[in-house]
Amino acid sequence: MDNNKVIIYDVSLRDGSHSISHQLSIEQISKYAQAAEKAKLYAIEVGHGNGLGASSLLVGQSKISDEVMLKTAKENLINTKLGIHVIPGFATINNDISKAIDIGVDIFRVASHSTEADTTQRHIGYIRDKGKEVYGLLMSCHMTSADILLEEAIKMQTYGAEAIVVLDSAGSMLPHDVRERIELLSKNLKIPVGYHGHNNLGLGISNSIVALESGAKILDASIKGFGAGAGNTQLEVLVGLLTKYDYETNIDLYGVLDLATLADKLLLKEAITISPLSIVSGLSKVFSGFSKHIQRISTKYDVDPRDVFFELGRQKVIAGQEDKIIDVAIKLNKLKGN
C-alpha cells in the first residue's frame, strides 16, 4: 500500500445499528448505500451492531434479517465494497458466512476480544479459502498491553488475515495508548494495520490522526458519528480534515458532506452526542454498546447506571457478556437494601 494512501472504512450501518436498537430498514440501507456509492467510499459495513448472526433477545433483535440487509446493500453498490462484522460464536460458517459469500459480500472482518484471537482461526481460514478479503479485528484493545496485542495480531496474520484492525471499543484510550499499540503492530506485522475509534472522551478524531501518524493504513469512521454510545470517529469530519494532510482517500468530499446531510434525515433519530453516561463508559473502560442495556436494566432494578458501568469495569466485563449487567444491577440493588 502506498505510504500516503489511507482506507476509510465506513461502519455506519453496523456500529450505528446499536444506537437505534438494531432497527435499520430496507429503505435506510438502500438510500445510504446509493449515497455512499456517489461519495466514492471504499467500503460500507452493514448489519446488526454485534455483527453477522447476532440478532437475538439477549443483544437485541434486528428489524430485518442479515440476508435482507446484505442483499439490499449489495443491490445498490457498484464500486463501493460491502463489508460485514463477524464474531465467532454469533456467526457460524455454515449458516451465516457461506450465505454472505453467496450474496457477494466483499470484505469479512472477523473479530475477537483482544486476547482471544484463537477463536478466529477457522473463520479466517474458511473465508480465505473461498477467495474473499478478510481482516482480523481485535476488540477492546484498551484491556490488553501492546505486547500481548501484537502476539494476538500475529496469530491472526498467521491464520490468513490480510489486515489487522484494533478497536477502542469503550472509547477510553488516550493518544499515547493509541500510538504505542499502532506503532508496535505497524513495525512488526507484514500486513496493514487499522484503528477503530469511539468518541466517549471526545478523542475519536484526534486518536484516529495519531493512529495514522503512527503507521495505520485503515481508519474506521461513521457518518455523523452514528455508532454505539457517544458514536465513532465522525466520517465527514475525518475526510475533510485529511484534505489538510498529505493523505489520499479517493473519497469525494462534497459527496461525503451530502451523505452527512442525508444521514440527519435518514438515520439519526437524535444527534449523536457525548452524554454523561458515555463519558462514564469511557472512564470505566466498558464497551459503548452496553449503554442502552445498562440504562434499561438500571431503571428496572432502581440503581444508578453510572455505578453499573464502574462495577462492570472493575469486573473487566467484555462485549458478549451482556448477562453480567443484570447480575451487577441485582447486586447493587441488594446493597441499597431494596
d(CA 185, CA 146): 8
d(CA 89, CA 223): 28
- Of 250, 312, 288, 268, nearest to 140 by C-alpha is 288
Q: Output DSSP code: residue 2.
A: -
Q: Is residue 96 classed as helix, strand or coil in its secondary structure? A: helix
3-state SS, 145-182, equals CHHHHHHHHHHHHHHCCCCEEEECCCCCCCHHHHHHHH
d(CA 17, CA 116): 25
Contact 46, 14 (CB under 8 A): yes
Contact 224, 264 (CB under 8 A): yes
* Residue 187 CB contacts under 8 Å (≥ 6 apart), including other chains: 215
Q: What is the DSSP string of 288-323?
A: GGGHHHHHHHHHHHT--HHHHHHHHHHTT--TT-TH
Q: Give yes or no: 196 in active site.
A: no
* Residue 248 CB contacts under 8 Å (≥ 6 apart), including other chains: 2, 4, 5, 6
| C-alpha cell, 30 | 438502500
Task: Scan for cell 490480510, then name that residue.
Answer: 162
18, 22, 85, 293: the active-site residue: 18
Is residue 195 exposed (0-12), middle (13-18) or buried (19+ Cβ within 10 Å)? Answer: buried
Contact 51, 120 (CB under 8 A): no
Contact 241, 210 (CB under 8 A): no
Residues with catalytic annotation? 18
